[in-house]
Amino acid sequence: MATGDREKAELLNAFFASVLSQKESHLQPQQHGMDEGLGEIQPQIGKQVVQEHLATLNEFKSPGPDQLHPRVLKELAEVISEPLSIIFESSWRTGEVPADWRRANVVPIFKKGKKNDPNNYCPVSLTSIPGKILEKIIKEVVCEHLETNAVIANSQHGFTKNKSCQTNLISFFDRVTSWVDTGNAVDVAYLDFSKAFNKVPHDLLANKLVKCGLDKTTVRWICNWLSERTQRVLTNASSSSWKEVTSGVPQGSVLGPVLFNIFINDLDEGLEGTIIKFADDTKLGGIANTPEDRSRIQNDIDRLERWAETNKMKFNRDKCKILRFGRNQRYRMGDAWLDSSVCEKDLGVLVEQACFLLPCRLGHGTMASKYRKGDST
């Protein structure tokens, strides 16, 4: 058992590195994919844009490994905005990201459970503040493209404009309740990815960036930003040695959530049931009156497992549960049967089987209102 801060930091960093996907030999989108994407662009980042970003920095935030503190950057905004705009333009245009912007101080955030279990900590990356400003500028371009071209599926409610936990719950359970209220049996599968943000394979993500139609200039920059990343863990006043980051989108970064949404976007393809997501939190629902209905749900679970295998992701089968509103039907994932549940915590709301099976059920409009208020009883 680790006792000193340095020892704890080394142990946590070793664990965080152990859950990453295996490194690919190179990170470049397949050439045929690049030919399908949009051409090069000539990024123009004015001094005024950079100055505005500097002026809105939170001076109480921690700096990244380069130790450029946001308070200092904010106070010097008028002086450094022009040279930074030149650096940002050059980096974006050439696709060359400074090494300091690809390093991260990782702060382990305790979730729940035993504090001596590394699996109960979430790695949050503190990265270069100037690097994050360019991330914000590039994110605006990426998000505009995604919205204009309706790239992200309607099933995604996480990190998406005008959507939230509330819209996720209301839209899904409005449908489930309407099914139950018309006398149908309904089964809902709660699916849990294991270390989803950490396992995203960079090579597959790069190809999906091209497939969604982003310009080559931006794809090249993101590929370089993801390449040869390193991290160290900070615990109190001590830090671990540096380790290579071979997969994943950095948690705590600006671009990470948007990139994850692009990566998981094709999870829906080929499904017959109703699927809804909040980032990686996924649930699948469908009417389960007949053997044919239940077979369709099982086929969808099989398709999702094949997607995970193809995309080098993994479901945590022990945390995947079935919530039944009707008949007692079992489903499997691979060679393992999924456990059933009478109550699941869904984005902070407890969803109880009994809510939907009371003799005098509430109308689905009323149920949606209850979810909007965060009341599941």
Contact criterion met (CB below 8 Å) for 198 and 19: yes
Q: Mind listing the pLDDT tens digit of every residue in the chain (377 residues)?
A: 667 899 999 999 999 999 998 876 555 655 434 445 568 888 999 999 999 999 999 999 999 999 999 999 999 999 999 999 999 999 999 999 999 999 999 999 999 999 999 999 999 999 999 999 999 999 999 999 999 999 999 999 999 999 999 999 999 999 999 999 999 999 999 999 999 999 999 999 999 999 999 999 999 999 999 999 999 999 998 999 999 999 999 999 999 999 999 999 999 999 999 999 999 999 999 999 999 999 999 999 999 999 999 999 999 999 999 999 988 889 999 999 999 999 999 998 889 887 664 443 333 333 333 333 333 33
Instruction: Give residue 194's pLDDT.
Output: 94
Residue 141's SS3 state is helix
The CA–CA distances, whole Å, from 128 to 103, 230, 258 equal 8, 13, 19
Instruction: Give residue 26's pLDDT.
Output: 57
In our burial notation (b when 16+ CB lie closer than 10 A, e otherwise), range 63-82 reads bbbbeebbeebbeebeebbe
